């Protein structure tokens, strides 16, 4: 019996909507990463992008478990002396809640050009409105 290997040309990609209202960040990000990679489909092939498009709404209502919201820091470094910056979770949530979900999901995807291609299928929005109604996305429960 031959093994099944999916091909880019024959892969069917659907659109899914996830509501992040009250969802825990890590659990939400792992579910999104699984859908983006296509691991929830029987046609999953590691070297082919078989995943679906994911739309996340209400990004500003995501939460962390425990007291991590007081201790979690996002760090950037410009590679210059004194160029390290730390942004607390609460400030990041106020300024750009979309970036919080994007960073969590991006770090769970493969670190390759295939992972970058998968990441482009993620659309994150603040609030409950998105502009992908023409794609007829299906609601996905967590």
Domain at 117, CATH number: 3.90.1180.10
> Domain range spanning residue 130?
15-64+96-139
In a domain, 87, yes or no: no
Which pLDDT belongs to residue 3? 84
pLDDT exceeds cutoff 80 at 1 = no
In a domain, 72, yes or no: no
Domains held by the chain: number: 1
In a domain, 27, yes or no: yes
Query: Pairing between strand 138-139 and 15-19?
Result: parallel
In a domain, 22, yes or no: yes
Q: How many residues does the chain have?
A: 142
In a domain, 4, yes or no: no
Radius of gyration in angstroms for the set of CA atoms belonging to the chain, rounded to a whole number: 17
In a domain, 78, yes or no: no
pLDDT exceeds cutoff 80 at 108 = yes
- Give me the chain's average pLDDT, please: 95
Phi–psi pair at 134, nearest 5 degrees? -65, -25
In a domain, 89, yes or no: no
């Amino acid at each position: 019996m031959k093994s099944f290997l999916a091909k880019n040309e024959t892969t069917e990609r659907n659109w899914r909507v996830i509501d992040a209202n009250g969802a825990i960040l890590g659990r939400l990000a792992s579910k999104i990463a699984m859908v983006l990679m296509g691991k929830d489909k029987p046609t999953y092939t590691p070297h082919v992008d078989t995943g679906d498009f994911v739309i996340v709404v209400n990004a500003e209502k995501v939460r962390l478990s425990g007291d991590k919201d007081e201790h979690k820091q996002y760090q950037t470094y410009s590679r210059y002396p004194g160029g390290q910056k730390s942004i607390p979770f609460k400030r990041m949530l106020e300024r750009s809640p979309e970036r919080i979900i994007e960073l969590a999901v991006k770090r769970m995807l493969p670190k390759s050009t295939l992972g970058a291609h998968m990441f482009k299928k993620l659309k994150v929005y603040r609030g409950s409105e998105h502009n992908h109604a023409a794609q007829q996305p299906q609601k996905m429960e967590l």
